[in-house]
A and B are shown apart, each in its own frame.
Chain A
Amino acid sequence: MGNSVNEIFSTIGKAVKKGDFKTRLSILILGFGQLLRGQILKGVAFLVLEAAFIWYLIGFGGKYFGKLNTLGTVATQKVGRKTVYGDNSFLILLFGILTLFVILFFILLWYINIKDNVKSQEMLAAGKKLPTNKEVFASLFDKHFDKTLLALPVTGIFVFTVLPIVFMICVAFTNYDKNHQAPTNLFTWVGFENFKRLLSFGQSGIGRTFIQVLAWTLIWAFFATFIDYFLGLGVAILINKKGVKFKKLWRTILVLTIAVPQFVSLLYIMKLFANDGLLNGYMMKWGWIDSPIQFWVNPLLARITIIVVNIWIGIPYMMLIATGLLMNIPEDLYESARIDGATGWQMFKKITLPYMLFVTGPFLLTQFTANLNNFNVIYLLTQGKPLSVNLKENAGSTDLLVTWLYKMTVTDTNYSLAAVIGIMVFIVTAVVSLVVYNTLPSVKDEEGFQ
């Protein structure tokens, strides 16, 4: 780190002190040196980018960037019958952040330009030839092919992920909610107010609700991951068993669950378990029960039902993975265990399970974090319901943090709190990943099973 900082400053220093007029002028006019040295392609590219930057800053970004500290002061007003639009906090925040990134990008560009100039000057002084325009262009498909490949994806991720996420992180520190909607109303910075509210357990705070939702999220992720894992492993072993016929048929039947779009199967199952659904209908007809079992109404029952339904979804997936891996376990391990008189259970405990846990450790981790954010299963089955008077901000008993976040964004338009929850989801995911990752056997001891 220190080295690269040193290098940056020594390069800039070189350009200022030892640079010829071409290099020195290109500190101000990007691409100037390249143009005079005959590298027209590079020079024009730098020049155009600088022009675009100045044009953007003056014509568009600057006015938003300047208001970033207040997020606007002039509210939209009605003067007589006409609406006079004032500042739009949403736009100021979004384009302010964009401008910040553009400025950072320009500084990077500026440095690259100086570095290139210094390098060219040194090369010429040493009597070497500069690469021609054609060579520069061709290198984009050879030496610098990575830049060609990554340009579009990185831009896409920047505009559609990085920018929105930074924007939302900032929103978490504002009072952007249903009473402060742009463009009619302004919103502004409130510091850690929203975080305090989420973590306070008093009357106005929603700490209790947050803890409950968080606890259920973790419990759900734990059960959804491990029950599915072991049952899936069991089914895979069952199908793999010597002497079991139609192996392919059983697998195909299970795999159907993955193939059929989830919204079709899950919505159908949701209705299957409903109070007026088939399951209750048949059980009442057969006289097993007198009144419908409240699968989706009773909070505890709803949670159990969700976990059970998730087994239906999770087993096939795990079965597919386990099937491939089970075949990798050398057969002679089992053979010698059998000669020593080991039972099936002992072999599972001593050979199969350790091997599987070792190999699928990272997979378990990704499954766990995916389940923390398993929107589809929860939302299609219950939408987080049943609601409860003990929970604030419309949270339901089966709500995960993400479904709560979703409802907050779409139904309640309470964006600032949604943003805080989003940050909490990130923290939970990151902490779980870091802690678990460092204890994984396959990370600690890479050679373990080879």
Chain B
Amino acid sequence: MTKSYKKKRAVGNAVAHVLLVIISIIWLFPFVGLILQSFRSYDSKVEYGGMVDYLIPKHFSLDNYRFLFNGQTNYLKWYTNTIIIAFCVAALQTIIVLCVSYALSRMRFTGRTFLMRFWLILGMFPGFLTMICLYFLLKQFGLTQAGAVPGLILVGVASSGMGYYVCKGYFDTIPKALDEAARIDGATRARVFLTMTLPMSKPIIIYTALVAFMAPWCDYVFASYIAFGHDESYNVAVAMTRWVWTNDYQGYFTRFCAGGILVAIPVTVLFMCLQKYYVEGVTGGAVKG
């Protein structure tokens, strides 16, 4: 009895491991492919830089990486644009979300439920319905094309108050009795918020900042619309997407791979380091809805 049970279990485990290996191969394949192909030269004397029917390059070359930094394109500029946008959005959005969440979680004021319902309904409109209007508004202040970077920061931050759910859910779990005790001792609301609630909220602050930081790296819609036609204001997503959609003319594909890798590495490393907080935030948000 125990022997057959053990045997069954061993078989079960073996099957599980085989499945996991297969899953891992499928999940890793695009990334491995991306890395390998980024080392295939686009120089027609060496190899072809477009679409080919083999994975491993015939000659190892760093041509693509050299191309990114030799000044033929604005790659460095796109990269700095994205970094600037990501850092500013992360910082400002986190501050706004924290403020809104604290107010909604801790304070009871007239219009509180109205505000929450109103924002919920507002969130059901598709985001880029507002695109032409925002473009016009930003243009009035010179924040399109050449000024697209601050413009995109503004767009990324302005409406972020509506994304308070996860953070408010976290604040709701901090006992109110702590606040009350501090207030009886004479601390103002502002002091309670700054010196008590915030230090206790490290995980949610990191989660909010991390999610806000990651978003601008993928922002294609607004970035391409607001920076339209002005190469120097593009972010990496817009610029790289253009390379892929040139329909392979001149073999920009491998250059896209190299550029994509350089974008992915820092973001991935950062994410992996802070993964713990991400999981906490996502799970908390999922359960509370």
Taking Cβ atoms with an 8 Å cutoff, the residues of A that contact B are: 90, 94, 138, 141-143, 145-150, 152-154, 156-157, 159-165, 167-168, 235, 238-239, 241, 243-245, 250, 252-265, 267-272, 274, 276-278, 280-282, 284-285, 312, 316-317, 320-321, 323-325, 359-363, 365-366, 369, 373, 375-376, 379-380, 401-402, 405-406, 409-410, 415, 418-419, 422, 425-426, 429-430, 433
Contact = CB atoms under 8 A, between A and B. Distances in A.
A379 B131 CA distance: 17
Contact of A269 (B30, B100, B225): B30
B283 A260 contact: no
B24 A405 contact: no
Contact of B162 (A149, A157, A241, A369): A157
Contact of A157 (B122, B257, B287): B122
Interface in B114-131: 115, 119, 121-122, 124-131
A268 B124 contact: no
Given A253-B24, A267-B256, A285 B122 contact: no
B124 A270 contact: no
Most chain A beta carbons < 10 A, residue from B157, B263, B279, B289:
B289
B17 interface: yes
B218 interface: yes
Interface stretch (B57-65, B72-80, B170-178, B186-194): B186-194
Given A245-B17, A271-B253, 12 more contacts: A150-B161, A153-B160, A156-B160, A160-B158, A165-B130, A268-B30, A280-B53, A362-B286, A362-B289, A375-B128, A405-B126, A430-B124
B124 A419 contact: no
B100 A149 contact: yes
Given A157-B158, A263-B220, A272-B33, A165 B129 contact: yes
B129 A405 contact: yes
A323 B17 CA distance: 17
Contacts of B225: 410
B136 interface: yes
Most chain B beta carbons < 10 A, residue from A239, A256, A366:
A256
Given A250-B20, A284-B53, A380 B241 contact: yes
Given A160-B159, A256-B31, A363 B130 contact: no
A121 B206 CA distance: 49
A379 B128 CA distance: 13
B16 A419 contact: no
B251 to A, nearest CB: 12
B289 A366 contact: yes
B196 to A, nearest CB: 13
Interface string B255-289: 01100110110011001100100110011011111
Contacts of B9: 243
A410 B288 CA distance: 37
Interface size class of B (residues with CB under 8 A): 35 or more
Interface in B199-246: 214, 217-218, 220-221, 225, 237, 240-241, 244
B16 A267 contact: no
Given A159-B158, A161-B162, A285 B53 contact: yes
7 contacts: A141-B191, A142-B189, A147-B109, A256-B268, A263-B241, A268-B34, A409-B131
B283 A320 contact: yes
Given A152-B96, A260-B268, A261-B263, A406 B53 contact: no
Contacts of A433: 124
The 10 closest A-B pairs by CB, nearest first: A362-B289, A281-B53, A153-B161, A164-B130, A164-B133, A422-B129, A259-B271, A160-B158, A264-B260, A145-B189
Interface of B: 9, 12-13, 16-17, 19-20, 23-24, 26-28, 30-31, 33-34, 51-55, 96, 99-100, 102-103, 107, 109, 115, 119, 121-122, 124-134, 136-137, 154-155, 157-162, 188-191, 193, 214, 217-218, 220-221, 225, 237, 240-241, 244, 248, 253, 256-257, 260-261, 263-264, 267-268, 271-272, 275, 278-279, 282-283, 285-289
B34 to A, nearest CB: 5
A373 B133 contact: no
B126 A422 contact: yes
Contacts of A361: 289
Contacts of B217: 261, 263
A320 to B, nearest CB: 5
Contacts of A142: 188-190
B271 A258 contact: yes
Nearest to B187: A142
Given A160-B158, A167-B133, A426-B124, A260 B53 contact: no
Contacts of A360: 286-287
A278 B55 contact: yes
Contact of A156 (B96, B261, B286): B96
Contact of B286 (A261, A363, A401): A363
B53 A282 contact: yes
Contact of B103 (A150, A157, A418): A150
Given A259-B268, A284-B53, A433-B124, A321 B134 contact: no
Contacts of A272: 30, 33
Contact of B129 (A153, A168, A243, A380): A168
A141 B99 CA distance: 12
Contact of B218 (A156, A160, A376): A376
A375 B31 contact: no
B137 A159 contact: yes
B218 to A, nearest CB: 5
A241 B34 CA distance: 32
Contacts of A168: 129-130, 132-133
A260 B241 CA distance: 15
B289 A270 contact: no
Given A276-B51, A409-B131, A153 B20 contact: no
A268 B272 contact: no
A160 B130 contact: yes
Contact of A267 (B107, B121, B244, B285): B244
